[in-house]
Amino acid sequence: MAERISDAEHSVMEVLWDKNPLTAQEVVERVAPARDWSANTVKTLLGRLLAKQVIGAEEDGRRYRYRPLVAREEYVAGESQKFIDRLFGGSLTPLVAHLAERDQLSAKEIDEIEALLKALKQ
């Protein structure tokens, strides 16, 4: 089901996940700051996402209001799995170990994650 979402498309999805439904115009406004795209580019991306059936459009007068058909949660789950499979043999431990070695975990993060894991154990 989940047609591949490209990088540029992903930026549009983030906007729609944040708030929806939105008109093309609104998407343009929200996506503009980050990526410096012309309105046409955004419209192309909306069109492609529609074709991939990963967003839907409902008519509203002469224009559409777009909304995601795939939950962010779902997308993130898929991508995370693919990522961890690809680089860490499917297990999270090496990822954490890796980041730890690179000193990319702050003390605060370590505490947060520990608390989280503790909660999980009961």
* Residues engaged in binding a second copy (CB under 8 A): 10, 73, 76-77, 79-81, 83, 86-88, 91-93, 95-100, 102, 104-105, 107, 109-110, 112-114, 116-118, 120-121
Judged by beta carbon, residue 48 or residue 67, the one nearer DNA is: 48
Residues 6 or more apart whose CB falls under 8 angstroms from that of 27 comprise 12, 15, 16, 42, 46, 66
Q: Tell me: does residue 7 bind DNA (CB under 7 A).
A: yes
Q: Tell me: does residue 8 bind DNA (CB under 7 A).
A: yes
Least separation, in Å, of the C-beta of 114 and a second copy?
5
Residue corresponding to tokens 């503790």:
118
Encoded tokens for 1 = 């089901």
The separation between CA 46 and the C-alpha centre of its own chain, rounded to angstroms, equals: 15
Residue 25 interface partner, choices a second copy, DNA, none, CB cut-off 5-8 Å depending on type: DNA
Q: Tell me: does residue 118 bind DNA (CB under 7 A).
A: no
CB atoms within 10 A of CB 84: 16
